[in-house]
Structures are given as C-alpha cells and as structure tokens.
C-alpha cells in the first residue's frame, strides 16, 4: 500500500457520521424530486477517468518549470503516484502513456509494474511535436503533414510503434495530436497540408489492430500561431469520417477559442457518431491546462448534461473515453488529480439529477426560463455526499486530499527520489 490503509480507515471512521447524515438528508431531498440517490451513487461509482502519466510530474509554462521535490523521475515512479490517486479516489484505474516520454526497453515489465499497482493502460499518445535525440528528421516544419515524405514516414513509423507498445500494454486506442501548422500567412498550403495529413493517417489507420480506435485531437492554435492543420472539430470530424469507423474525434476542453460553445460541439459529435473521448481540464484564456472545474465548473456540467442526454437516449455506439489532461505548475499533482477527478464526478452527479422529462417539456413548449431553471437547479444541489459515498463504497477516502496531506508520501519521496536535474522550460 502506498498510503497507510490505517490512515484512510481512521479518517473515514471520523467522517462517516457526518457523511451519512448529509447523505440521508440529500437522499430525502432527491426523492421528493423523483430521483433515487442510490442509483446516482452507483453511476458515479461505475464512472472512471484515465490519468495522463505526464500529469503527475510538475508542469511548466513556456517560461519556466519549477520542479517539486519528490516528483517522479521516470514512468515507474509516475505510475506509483498515479496509484496513490487511485488508492484514495478509486475512480482512476487506468493511465494514459505518452511516447516516447514513457519509453522503456522492457514493456512487459512496465505492464507488470502497473498491474502490481492495480493499474491498467488507456489510450497511448504519440508525440511528433518534439524532436528526440538522434532522430533522423526534424519536426520543426511539421510531422504527419510535412512537405518532405521522409519526415512524414518517420512520424507514421512513430505512431505505428505507439500502437505496438499499446498492444503490449493492453491498451486499445491511439491518440494523435499534431502541432503541425504555420506561423505566417502563406507559409503553408492549407489544402495540401490536410491532404498530406489524411494520407499519413490512412497508413496509421490501416495498421490499427482489431478492436482499436484512433482518436484525432484538434487544437485551435499553439505551437503554430497562425494556422493549425487540425484546428477545429469540423476538420477533425471530416478526417475521422474520411478515415473510417475506427477513427473518432477527441475533445480537449482547452483546445478552442475562449467563447466557444464546447457542449454544443460535444452534442454535434454525438449526433454524428464521432465523439471518441475527452481530455478534461479548465482554462481562462487559452490552453491553460488548469485543474478541471477550477475556473468554470458550469461548463463541465453542461458537457455532462449532453453526455447523460445521449446515454438516456441510448445513442448507438456511444462510449466515450475520458481522460484528464492537465499541467500542474503550482500544486502537488497528486492533489490536483484527486480534486479534478472529484470535479468530473460532481458534474456527472449533477447531470444525473437533472429532471429530463421536465426539460424535454420545457424545450418542446419553448419555456426558455423553465429549461434554464432546471439546469441551474441541478447545479445548486450539493452532490458532494454522493461523490464521497461513491469513493467510500469503492474503498477510497471520504476526504482524500486531507488523508494525503496527513501521510508522509511526498516527504518520503523527497528522500528516495533525489532530483536529477534543474528546472527547464516547456509546456508538458
């Protein structure tokens, strides 16, 4: 055990009377509204979200990175920290690796290490947005869309390697985000670049194993500052549709212009049968990668409102993959990931208590205020006892951050994980 189980039990025993009383009160309140609290708890308990391996390291900005003492230095240590998040929160049993950041020679050993920690692997993320030491060709002017076929071939090969690694790890999806684009008007021929992307992606798609999916992740800008090849959900949808049924669109909440109606994009992709999954995070200005729900919890609720709507309507093939994609610059990543997981669970619980029959009536009768009230009411309900109960029932901590702070986990790691190098810049 990474965190002393005694500590969890001790704290849970102390908090249980208060939780049970709040839970009973909330149960009675929801019952009056026609919602059975136990059903909501079960749904929250069944929900899982993957953790990115890079999310447990201290993040950085383009100016600097301030490493945290005791932070993990390799994938094996990163998995340990992911296991702590899972031990306390019990909603994050899978990790999403990023290659080559998580590269090891013995992939089987990595899988066994994860299994011993009670973890499995989610989608593998490829990386053709950075050059690696000793690499034949540079991605400075693009990867899968590069004008030079040799560069494209190198990027394709890397993605195929990611699939091969993923197969050994027990993963069933590849996530492709490319940084390809242009900094200047005229620099890149828009149509030809997209053609080249499709050509490259077809080669990757053709090698997807049985039961695998490929997620296309769009992003408006950055690092390309004038135009990005896969900039929006429309382009992503077109590409996914052109590639075939195994290709789906991935929505990273931070990858849109500030006022974009992301929940509507989600609804559109659901309707078109192409919503593959999410990278959850929050932002105020750009792709800030802040903790989910830290800035605009209403937005994540509205996203879940669409997801639950799809579920209630039993939309064919609807099974999105959920992941957190955050950069923790000023917090202990373990704490941020625990809090962010809870924020996602809260949004789910709130979406589950929306009175959908009443909402449908309000929509059909053009009762704009009535419809808005139904959504607002759901977000005013304090669903915390549901989230806490789900965690407790699953064997986690009622108040995971407090337990983590009472533990000596990070302090111990400061000794056992001496820093390997100083701070450096870079968004990860």
Q: Footprint of ligand PSV on this chain (CB under 6 A)?
A: 125, 177, 217, 219, 252, 279, 287, 325, 428
Least distance in Å: CB of 252 to ligand PSV?
5
Query: Considering just the CA atoms, what is the radius of gyration of the chain in Å?
Result: 22
Measured from the CB atom, the residue of 87 and 125 that comes closer to ligand PSV is 125
Instruction: Give the interface segment with Mn ion, choosing from 18-26, 140-148, 193-201, 247-255 (CB under 5 A).
Output: 247-255
Question: Which of 374, 414, 408, 418 lies closest to 3, judged by CA?
Answer: 408
Distance CA 52, CA 278 (A): 12
Measured from the CB atom, the residue of 78 and 413 that comes closer to ligand PSV is 78
For the record, the structure tokens of 277 come out as 């999954």
Measured from the CB atom, the residue of 125 and 172 that comes closer to ligand PSV is 125
Q: Please say whether the beta carbons of 297 and 347 come within 8 A.
A: yes
Least distance in Å: CB of 86 to ligand PSV?
21
Partner touching 219 among ligand PSV, Mn ion, none, CB below 5 to 8 Å by kind:
ligand PSV
Instruction: Give the interface segment with Mn ion, choosing from 106-114, 161-169, 324-332, 357-365 (CB under 5 A).
Output: 324-332
Binding mask 267-296 for Mn ion (x = CB under 5 A): ------------x-----------------
What SS3 class is residue 224? coil
Partner touching 413 among Mn ion, ligand PSV, none, CB below 5 to 8 Å by kind:
none
Distance CA 79, CA 95 (A): 8
Least distance in Å: CB of 56 to ligand PSV?
13
Question: Which of 311, 170, 173 lies closest to 248, judged by CA?
Answer: 173
User: How many residues are listed for the chain in this entry?
Assistant: 428
Helix locations, 102-175, DSSP H: 107-116, 149-169
Partner touching 309 among Mn ion, ligand PSV, none, CB below 5 to 8 Å by kind:
none
Q: Please report, for residues 283, 324, 329, 426, the alpha-carbon distance to residue 290 in angstroms, rounded to integers and kept in the order given.
A: 6, 10, 9, 15
For the record, the structure tokens of 237 come out as 């949808």
Least distance in Å: CB of 163 to ligand PSV?
16
Measured from the CB atom, the residue of 216 and 310 that comes closer to ligand PSV is 216
Q: Which long-range contacts (CB under 8 A, 24 or more apart) does 159-165 make?
A: 159/126, 159/128, 159/204, 160/204, 160/207, 161/99, 162/99, 162/124, 162/125, 162/126, 163/124, 163/204, 163/207, 163/208, 163/209, 163/212, 165/97, 165/99, 165/107, 165/124
Instruction: Give the interface segment with Mn ion, choosing from 44-52, 87-95, 251-259, 262-270 (CB under 5 A).
Output: 251-259
Query: How many CB atoms within 10 Å of residue 423?
Result: 11
Instruction: Give the interface segment with Mn ion, choosing from 88-96, 137-145, 264-272, 322-330 (CB under 5 A).
Output: 322-330
Q: Is 256 in the site for Mn ion (CB under 5 A)?
A: no
Least distance in Å: CB of 201 to Mn ion?
17
Least distance in Å: CB of 428 to ligand PSV?
6
Measured from the CB atom, the residue of 90 and 279 that comes closer to Mn ion is 279
Query: How far out from the chain centre does Cα 350 lie?
Result: 19
Distance CA 206, CA 20 (A): 53
Rule CB under 5 A: choose which of 102, 287, 325, 332 binds Mn ion. 325
Instruction: Give the interface segment with Mn ion, choosing from 11-19, 252-260, 332-340, 354-362 (CB under 5 A).
Output: 252-260
Least distance in Å: CB of 427 to Mn ion?
11
Euclidean distance between the first and the last CA atom of the chain, given in angstroms as a whole number: 29
Measured from the CB atom, the residue of 55 and 70 that comes closer to Mn ion is 55
One DSSP character per residue, 34-62 reads T--HHHHHHHHHH---BEEGGGGSB-B-S
Least distance in Å: CB of 281 to ligand PSV?
8
Partner touching 287 among ligand PSV, Mn ion, none, CB below 5 to 8 Å by kind:
ligand PSV
Q: Rule CB under 5 A: which residues touch Mn ion?
A: 252, 279, 325
């Amino acid at each position: 055990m990474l965190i002393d189980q005694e500590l969890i039990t001790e704290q849970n025993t102390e908090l249980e009377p208060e939780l049970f009383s709040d839970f009973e009160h909330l149960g009675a309140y929801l019952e009056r509204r026609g919602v059975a609290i136990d059903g909501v708890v079960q749904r929250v308990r069944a929900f899982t979200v993957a953790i990115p391996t890079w999310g447990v390291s201290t993040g950085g900005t383009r100016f600097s990175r301030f490493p945290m003492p005791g932070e993990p230095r390799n994938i094996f240590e990163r998995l340990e920290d992911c296991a702590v998040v899972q031990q306390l929160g019990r909603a994050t049993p899978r990790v999403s690796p990023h290659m080559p950041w998580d590269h090891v020679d013995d992939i089987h050993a990595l899988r066994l290490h994860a299994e011993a920690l009670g973890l499995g692997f989610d989608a593998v993320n490829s990386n053709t947005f950075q050059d690696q030491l000793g690499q034949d060709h540079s991605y400075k002017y693009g990867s899968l869309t590069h004008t030079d076929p040799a560069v494209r071939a190198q990027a394709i090969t890397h993605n195929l390697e990611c699939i091969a690694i993923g197969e050994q790890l027990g993963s069933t999806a590849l996530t492709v985000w490319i940084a390809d684009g242009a900094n200047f008007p005229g620099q890149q021929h828009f149509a030809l670049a997209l053609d080249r992307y499709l050509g490259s992606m077809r080669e990757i798609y053709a090698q997807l194993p049985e039961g695998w999916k490929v997620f296309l992740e769009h992003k408006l800008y950055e690092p390309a500052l004038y135009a990005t090849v896969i900039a929006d959900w429309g382009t992503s949808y077109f590409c996914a549709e052109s590639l075939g049924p195994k290709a789906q669109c991935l929505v990273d909440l931070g990858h849109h212009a500030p006022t974009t109606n992301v929940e509507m994009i989600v609804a559109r992709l659901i309707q078109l049968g192409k919503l593959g999954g999410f990278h959850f995070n929050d932002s105020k200005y750009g792709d800030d990668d802040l903790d989910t729900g830290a800035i605009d919890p209403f937005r994540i609720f509205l996203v879940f409102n669409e997801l639950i709507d799809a579920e209630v309507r039993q939309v064919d093939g609807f099974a999105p993959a959920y992941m957190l994609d955050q950069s923790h610059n000023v917090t202990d990543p373990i704490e941020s990931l625990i809090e962010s997981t809870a924020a996602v669970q809260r949004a789910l619980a709130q979406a589950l208590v929306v009175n959908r029959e009443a909402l449908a009536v309000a929509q059909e009768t053009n009762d704009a205020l009535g419809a808005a009230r139904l959504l607002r009411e759901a977000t005013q309900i304090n669903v915390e006892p549901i989230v806490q109960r789900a965690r407790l029932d699953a064997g986690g901590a009622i108040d995971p951050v407090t337990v983590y702070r009472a533990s000596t986990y990070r302090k111990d790691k400061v000794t056992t994980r001496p820093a390997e190098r100083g701070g450096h810049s870079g968004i990860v």
